[in-house]
Structure 1
């Protein structure tokens, strides 16, 4: 669905009820709640729906999603929305709901093609367009099946950001090993494709005084390796690169909104990409590898691979001068047990960074909850090993916290970690979760 400036005629028009509006039948307004949309009339000149004026952005998002659902049911191709408060939130939710990935279907799914929101300022329309495009890009990456999206093709997709003004560098296995990224190389060793490290840079306007690094886990498919997953747990593992998709989607949106980047802020995305497969060269439980920062890790569980590739990428981002780092990853099942699929876990070493991420997530309607970096839990990864760390202790309790503590061992800058396990996909479809939070965080920096 495309956001347009205006249209003379629309198949469906949404109007907002004024207090005690007398010309609307009582059966339409009875028990009408905030966020709901109801059909008022149908006619040759177009259908009309009504809703209560949204009191906040959350209600506007609900209205936007409900409006697209109604438009789809009615077969409306063009939708117009009367001027209202929080129009940008409404428009973005409508675009996200109406974005239907039809690449793998014989026929496109039905749904509205055009959306016009009256009174939406041009600057807001451009921002919504940019953010919607970033969410769409992230969703398409996650939705792509693993036979089409692997580390090499993910790198090729990242290069599509170059026409938007981003600089894209891709390291292959040889360069990765030369940089000492032994953990990323180990995870990818069982795959014929090999690893990639994708680095996307949006140069600062003027001299760079701050460098924000966004790091996204890019496991394009996760079998679990020799600690193999059961069949039911493997079916959604094309989505184990949801963190990478969020980071690349955010870079897509930020590139399209370059003029809004704070002066002096350079943004870099780091995506360690690998397939976690089995094979004659795959890592085994008990193997020890050296990370980019020199620390050694014993692989106790080959299905705890995401923290390995992130560790190397985090170390490289810090070594290359990042002044603050945020990583995003579908990392642990323990996070889903603790917070479910709607709320992401946030860990951070910096109070200011935490505040900015929380504020951005709330503004975007992406919910986060801060969990503690309880340092004593790291001891479980330091016992009974010849290496500096183990990558797991095979104890589910506190698993998300322990994974975050493992990652902290590889950062030397203010850092935050978003565990988005369960957030990246819903009912078999990608959500694009994280794009809005990251974009708002960067633009508000």
Structure 2
């Protein structure tokens, strides 16, 4: 869906009624967030909704409007003025996304003919709000396309190529291959990638500060482009869908794409860096085995008790590099633990943080973006299960599901030396088999609020 500044002759127009207004027979019983078709015309249609009283209602209206437009095959939408126009516009634009890249040509042609590229005009949307919405839309779309791509298309090498395509006058991209990673001592990332013939990549992006640099925000993403579980092999049902185990990496790259578009809105003095640890977790002659011990980039040794707990390994090395390179704060995103879904479901991400100001900033950013987070504790005694009965400094799992999300976060904390937050987005990166781009909005809102 494309935002337009000039209203065209719309196929569908959305009007608003106050909740105290009877809104006539057609609007009777309208609920907040609901969009109801009110008039079918020869050349255009009209719909009705209650005027949103908060941003959450506006997002619900936006999503419902996009769904109605699809059903009506409307190509041009107009929304009359309301409060929270940016929330409505961004939700409608995101909800209008469909990935047609992997359909046959006939199906693509048929869908293009029926829906085409939707045009959306929202009255009352300021120029700055439109720019911000368009930047976010670009980032979310990029993240969704990465997450949606099958593993025979997207692997560590092609993910690096996609990231390199973001390079511009203001956004620097650097790719470390296996030899670079080995030279940096990133033994955990190398271990996870050893079972694949594609090798690992460390993808590093930098959006330099405008003016004198005073802060460096590092965004770190788990980029497992496919996860078989390694020799701790997943079941068939558990393995299907593991192309989206790079949802954290996709969100980080999407956020960088959006921030590059919105560079003039990034507060002066704030530099943003992204680190994506990319690998496939496969079975092969060189693959890591349960019981193997590897040395991380920070010198700690880790015994692999479960090869399917690979995300924390690649993140450990990436977090070390981000801290060593001078980040003042670090935020990582990862589809890390299945038990996070049991605890919080698919709509809400788990937040772990060692710094109160950073946690509060991320909670506010998530609320502004319409994404939900819930903070869980970094209960230090739980780490003991990863420290006992091993020849190494740490195990990567104690094989006990109780408290597993907390223990995984505590493992990551062993690799940070800065204010740090971990967002476990297992279950968030995809909804109803459609990639969501979850996390792009939260990261962008957080950076833009650091004035």
What band does the TM-score fall into relative to the shorter chain?
over 0.9
Partner of 2:128: 123
Partner of 1:195: 200
Partner of 1:145: 150
Partner of 1:17: 17
Question: Which digits, 9 at most, give the CA deviation of each residue in 1:63-88, with x for residues without a partner?
Answer: 00000111111111110000111000
Partner of 1:232: 237
Cα separation, 1, equivalents of 2:448 and 2:399? 40
Cα separation, 2, equivalents of 1:299 and 1:126? 46
Query: Is 1:323 aligned to 2:321, yes or no?
Result: no
Partner of 2:58: 60
Residue 331 of structure 1 deviates from its aligned partner by 0.1
Cα separation, 2, equivalents of 1:304 and 1:164? 38
2:90 to 64, 89, 92: 92
Query: Is 1:134 aligned to 2:134, yes or no?
Result: no
Change (3 A) 1:369 1:377: same
Cα separation, 2, equivalents of 1:140 and 1:69? 20
Query: Is 1:293 aligned to 2:298, yes or no?
Result: yes
Q: Any conservation in 2 of the 1:220–1:273 contact (CA below 8 Å)?
A: yes
Q: Any conservation in 2 of the 1:372–1:401 contact (CA below 8 Å)?
A: yes
Runs of 5+ unmatched residues, structure 2: none
Partner of 2:39: 41
Cα separation, 2, equivalents of 1:192 and 1:411? 30
Q: Any conservation in 1 of the 2:204–2:275 contact (CA below 8 Å)?
A: yes
Partner of 2:427: 422
Residue 45 of structure 1 deviates from its aligned partner by 3.6
Query: Is 1:7 aligned to 2:12, yes or no?
Result: no
Question: What does 1:331-350 align with in structure 2 at a 5 Å threshold?
Answer: 331-350=336-355
Residue 429 of structure 1 deviates from its aligned partner by 1.1
Residue 165 of structure 1 deviates from its aligned partner by 2.4
Question: Which digits, 9 at most, give the CA deviation of each residue in 1:9-67, with x for residues without a partner?
Answer: 10000011146657x541x2121001000111111241110111000000000000000
Cα separation, 2, equivalents of 1:20 and 1:290? 65
Q: Any conservation in 2 of the 1:164–1:256 contact (CA below 8 Å)?
A: no
2:78 to 73, 77, 80: 80
Q: Any conservation in 2 of the 1:290–1:297 contact (CA below 8 Å)?
A: yes
Q: Any conservation in 2 of the 1:357–1:441 contact (CA below 8 Å)?
A: yes
Q: Any conservation in 2 of the 1:164–1:255 contact (CA below 8 Å)?
A: no
Cα separation, 1, equivalents of 2:56 and 2:100? 28
Question: What does 1:224-303 align with in structure 2 at a 5 Å threshold?
Answer: 224-303=229-308
Cα separation, 2, equivalents of 1:21 and 1:334? 46
Question: What does 1:20-31 align with in structure 2 at a 5 Å threshold?
Answer: 24-26=23-25, 28-31=26-29
Q: Any conservation in 2 of the 1:318–1:411 contact (CA below 8 Å)?
A: yes
Q: Any conservation in 2 of the 1:191–1:282 contact (CA below 8 Å)?
A: yes
Which stretch shifts more, 10-19 or 411-420?
Answer: 10-19
Question: Which digits, 9 at most, give the CA deviation of each residue in 1:402-430, with x for residues without a partner?
Answer: 00000000000000000000000111110
Partner of 2:412: 407
Q: Any conservation in 1 of the 2:19–2:50 contact (CA below 8 Å)?
A: no
Q: Per the alignment, in what secondary structure is the counterpart of residue 240 of structure 1?
A: helix
Partner of 2:436: 431
Residue 363 of structure 1 deviates from its aligned partner by 1.2
TM-score by length of 2: 0.97
Query: Is 1:366 aligned to 2:371, yes or no?
Result: yes
Question: Which digits, 9 at most, give the CA deviation of each residue in 1:135-185, with x for residues without a partner?
Answer: 000000000000000000000000111136210000000000000000000
Which stretch shifts more, 102-111 or 256-265?
Answer: 102-111
Partner of 2:184: 179
Residue 373 of structure 1 deviates from its aligned partner by 0.2
Cα separation, 1, equivalents of 2:36 and 2:434? 26
Cα separation, 2, equivalents of 1:396 and 1:312? 24
Cα separation, 1, equivalents of 2:280 and 2:38? 52
Partner of 1:169: 174
Cα separation, 2, equivalents of 1:405 and 1:115? 45
Change (3 A) 1:151 1:19: closer
Change (3 A) 1:164 1:346: farther
Runs of 5+ unmatched residues, structure 1: none
Q: Per the alignment, in what secondary structure is the counterpart of residue 275 of structure 1?
A: strand
Residue 8 of structure 1 deviates from its aligned partner by 3.1
Q: Per the alignment, in what secondary structure is the counterpart of residue 316 of structure 2?
A: helix
Q: Any conservation in 2 of the 1:210–1:322 contact (CA below 8 Å)?
A: yes
